[in-house]
Amino acid sequence: MRKVNVFDTTLRDGEQSAGVNLNFEEKMEIALQLERLGVDIIEAGFPASSPGDFRSVKAIADMVKGSSVTGLSRSVQSDIDTSWEALKGGAEPRIHVFLATSPIHMKHKLRKTPDEVVETAVASVKYAAKFFPHVQWSAEDACRSDIDFLARIIEQVIDAGASVINLPDTVGYITPKEIGHMFNYLREHVPNIHKAALSCHCHDDLGMAVANSLAAIEAGADQVECTINGIGERAGNASLEEIAVALRIRNDFYQAETGLKLNEIKRTSTLVSKLTGMVVPSNKAVVGANAFAHESGIHQDGVLKEKTTYEIITPELVGVSSNRMVLGKHSGRHAFKDKLNELGYTATEEEINKVFKAFKDLADKKKEITEDDIFALMTEERVGSAVAYYEVENIQVNYGTTNIPTATITLKTPEGESLQEAATGSGSVEAIYNTLERMIDSTVTLQDYRIQSVNGGRDALAEVYVKINFDGVESSGRGTAHDVLEASAKAYIDAINRVLNRKLKDQALAKQVKV
């Protein structure tokens, strides 16, 4: 049974999903969970792309010790230098350098000849190898590249110091049979291929990212690149959870395994879903709400008699708990702390105190507190307090079928002052947002609004996700509350706060650079 390394790019390629905008604290939270999940390599970002990305990549590399942390880099010396500054504090520093190799990319994007592309790739890998003990080189759009040209450039970058060769299906074009042929061909026609690990990186434009990744593994790929929930640009990337569970369930066929702790999959999926605002479809394989639900009477009868009649994956394998009711309003702080430990949280005393207070407030309104509720409260505390700028103190909404909805809101400013304003709207949520826009005194465009419950029941927590344009900057926000309108206000202010905090951090970083 050979080992396949898992390269997770949720924080880089996954964050490039339309509408996803993770802040520093959210990236750190996801990185810690990926380490807990047991991924081999975490691609934390693109250090040279922005001061914010550099800061988060550096912090993750310095913090995470159980996984190797990498960052993306163009084939440019300045990018490589920046990446080294960000990643040198990691337990196992590595860099991910890429350059396009397909005729269409070389001609229209790079405007280089094939010989010039080879020269640039070799020079960048040689330079990166001066700093990094591990250099991964990617042939962007490999699956639409000439196979003999691929063999030629791969041989030369391996000689230059590349220890991992990644062959991305950048536009989700290839089929399982074709990708298997490509990997087999390169293993047979690149003389020094044994000196490097082969990696696959598949996109899901034709719905074949997971199938293509598994076909690449079948053809000898040593590493698979993927994201949690399959998020990513356009139709997304190969889904980590589907690949990992497929290798476990069908190890008789693939004869390969990962080192992942599969019982952390559901938790990781939920965290990424909450922080990105990308809801996991109910019919999503492995982690969807219906993944272990049986509607058909024939199926139900079979499962009751013997689970394996219709379940090839047990819920427990991926960390789905069958007993979801945990604590109530009479539970004490000690029991609450034990539950946090059981759920895998390593919280500070200050965090525990804040979340326990929120838990008690919720317990007064909600009879049954589930693990999902605690997860939502903990996530809100971990990443919500970090972006506090404006804070919603009080909301009052007047609504009637024959009345004009009116919202009155009190906001706390960074200086500790209280602002109060009122406005109307065609509905309660619009009234709230019109009021907040008036208080911010700047034009805010609401681009997306979504609401869902944390779990079932009329007393469920509400989660609201919004996407706005504020001061010319797109931002997403998230709010959780027992009341839908309160959650809506929190999400809107969260999105505003993200823009304001980003501007403050960019200004601080700019001053540091000048100094």
Q: Quote the tokens at residue 226.
A: 């993927």
pLDDT band at 387 (very low <50, low <70, confident <90, very high): low
Summarize pLDDT for 274-310 with one digit per residue, the tens: 889 898 999 999 999 888 875 555 444 555 566 667 6
Summarize pLDDT for 350-370 with one digit per residue, the tens: 888 888 888 888 888 777 777
In the chain, domain spans = 2-276, 292-319, 325-384, 388-512
Res. 508: pLDDT tops 70: no
Q: Report pLDDT for 307.
A: 67
Domain 388-512 part of CATH 3.30.160.270: yes
Res. 322: pLDDT tops 70: no
**Polymer length in residues for the chain:** 515
Residue 73: exposure state from Cβ atoms within 10 A (0-12, 13-18, ≥19): buried
Cβ pair 361, 373 in contact under 8 A: no
Lowest mean pLDDT: which of 210-219, 360-369, 408-417?
360-369
Cα–Cα distance for residue pair 443/448, rounded to 1 Å: 16
Q: Quote the tokens at residue 88.
A: 């040198």
User: Torsions phi, psi of 302, nearest 5?
Assistant: -65, -45
Lowest mean pLDDT: which of 46-60, 176-190, 375-389, 444-458?
375-389
Cβ neighbours for 51, distance < 8 A, ≥ 6 positions apart:
505, 506, 509, 510
Lowest mean pLDDT: which of 77-91, 136-150, 292-306, 486-500?
292-306
Q: Which residue has the tokens 């990617």?
A: 138
Q: Report pLDDT for 325.
A: 47
Check if 2-276 and 388-512 are the same fold.
no
397-400: long-range pairs with CB below 8 Å, 24+: 397/428, 397/431, 397/432, 397/485, 399/428
Higher pLDDT, 413 or 112: 112
Res. 344: pLDDT tops 80: no
pTM: 0.87
Phi-psi sector, 441: left (phi>0), alpha (psi -120 to 50), beta: left
Q: Report pLDDT for 297.
A: 57
pLDDT band at 515 (very low <50, low <70, confident <90, very high): very low
Percent of the chain beyond pLDDT 90? 67
In Å, what is the CA distance from 128 to each residue of 41, 48, 96, 153, 395?
18, 14, 9, 17, 55
Task: Give the architecture-level CATH label for domain 2-276.
Answer: Alpha-Beta Barrel (3.20)
